[in-house]
Copies of this chain bind each other. A is one copy, B any other.
């Protein structure tokens, strides 16, 4: 195994992701940030310097388990203190599993500001993937707003709330268009884009040769949008989800929620004299964003040769049956690790939208998460009782809660307590969706767990009940790090709390997390070794350790 060393500087820069110039958070002058590529078992060292003028920064390595290095998880207020302007932090961790991952900011809404990039892990040197392909295409998806993140943050915490609205543009590898379409020739209502191909907003073309098999790695780090990916005339063979192999299946398109990743195989067996559309549309919310587009370019055709038919149509945004059908098809590849048959503990997490003192928030079992200034990892290791609420949040919600009506907000509060697990405990979480503040409205939320993969045991409509127990899949549930809850539905997951550290579990929709939609899990913090000083140099840990040092 090797050490992969990266030296990065984070700073704002002028950039035009969708042809409109704005300030974007870049790394070493690039947007999206540089791709990390390593083999399973390698060490990755990222020497990250904060070149922002007034903002702290952290980077989370989404899908990397951080076994033994919980302080490197890159979540501000949880695993570390934010890195101050001018300072450098060394992230140092092992990438255990091959797969398609990414990294992104995890402070305020800095992910939305453009702080993200790909992290690809190949099998250990000398080992092969369990499927063959001739070439690879890497696709990182995101969504983009013209309004600055700073304004968005203020709007979300204003009274009354100012919602961010739908994104202006879907970006494919940081590139998209606004107020024009590269597929205008099929629709007289669209304005054609005048692009030469060298612009920062020119599409990232997929160049392929005919009669070959390609692996397309697709990851979504959207702030809000639930996406659907399709290629004209080409079936997709799904082989990987969130860095775990899945039982391969064919589909015409995939749904991908924020925080998820997939690998699909395509075979370039179509008419080689044509090019084909790659289309990324939005779903699950009433859409107001045109699809992100690019071309599958069969070489040696010119990229200026547009396909004979328009881009594949994105399925109806509210065809949730179709979404469920796709999601339910995902199962673990044969030979994947199976979940423990029994759980030690099961917690139920009710997802509600609430109003607290006039502020719109999201809450889990009536608690809306507001992260404390002292990161939990250090606070727990050094037993700082005032750093966060020592009472754990509720593990259940009232049995008679009516998920079909708007919440009453009576007991909802701001909180920062922690769900603490015994090391090795087998934990089930039943995520329960419910009606929002508005009548007859419930949204889709992709929940992401740090520090673990989990088995997705099942999904269902309505409220989870004891009768569903027998429907849970213990045979071949997929291992994932992100899973969706559908409107008014439930999702059951299981994981083993065997990774000492403190771990966020949260909705991956950036504004939802910002509005409190997350919880904090912890296990075996007493087993955590040395934490770098810089991860502790803020809040209560700084105060305590400067006066009374205990850090070995």
Contact = CB atoms under 8 A, between A and B. Distances in A.
A414 to B, nearest CB: 12
Contact of A537 (B57, B162, B538): B538
Given A87-B373, A108-B53, A158 B542 contact: no
Nearest to A155: B14
A23 interface: yes
A54 B56 contact: yes
Given A54-B110, A84-B56, A542 B547 contact: no
B549 A547 contact: yes
A536 interface: yes
B537 A533 contact: no
A157 to B, nearest CB: 8
Nearest to A81: B84
Contacts of A543: 533-534, 537
A535 B124 CA distance: 46
Interface stretch (A146-154, A199-207, A281-289): A146-154
Interface secondary structure of A, over-half rule: loop
A110 B371 CA distance: 24
Contacts of A158: 13-14
A542 B551 CA distance: 12
B549 A533 contact: no
Contacts of A85: 56, 82, 108, 373
Contacts of A542: 533-534, 537, 542, 546
B551 A547 contact: yes
A84 B82 contact: yes
A545 interface: yes
A333 B129 CA distance: 85
A192 interface: no
Contacts of A539: 84, 86-87
Contacts of A81: 84
Contacts of A23: 150-151, 154
B154 A13 contact: yes
A470 to B, nearest CB: 45
A537 B81 CA distance: 11
A53 B373 contact: no
A272 interface: no
Interface in A101-151: 107-110, 148, 150-151
A394 interface: no
A372 interface: yes
A9 to B, nearest CB: 12
Interface in A453-472: none
A55 interface: yes
Contacts of A55: 54-56
Contact of A546 (B153, B373, B545): B545
Interface in A38-67: 53-57
Contacts of A154: 11-14, 23
Contacts of A536: 546
Interface of A: 11-14, 23, 53-57, 77, 81-82, 84-87, 107-110, 148, 150-151, 153-155, 157-158, 162, 371-373, 514, 533-534, 536-539, 542-543, 545-549, 551
14 contacts: A14-B155, A23-B154, A53-B109, A54-B55, A54-B153, A55-B55, A56-B56, A56-B84, A84-B84, A87-B373, A537-B538, A537-B542, A546-B551, A548-B549
Given A534-B542, A534-B543, A537-B542, 12 more contacts: A12-B154, A14-B162, A23-B151, A53-B108, A53-B157, A53-B514, A56-B85, A77-B86, A82-B85, A84-B538, A86-B539, A546-B551
Q: Which 5 A-B pairs have the closest CB atoms?
A: A86-B373, A537-B542, A54-B108, A53-B108, A54-B55
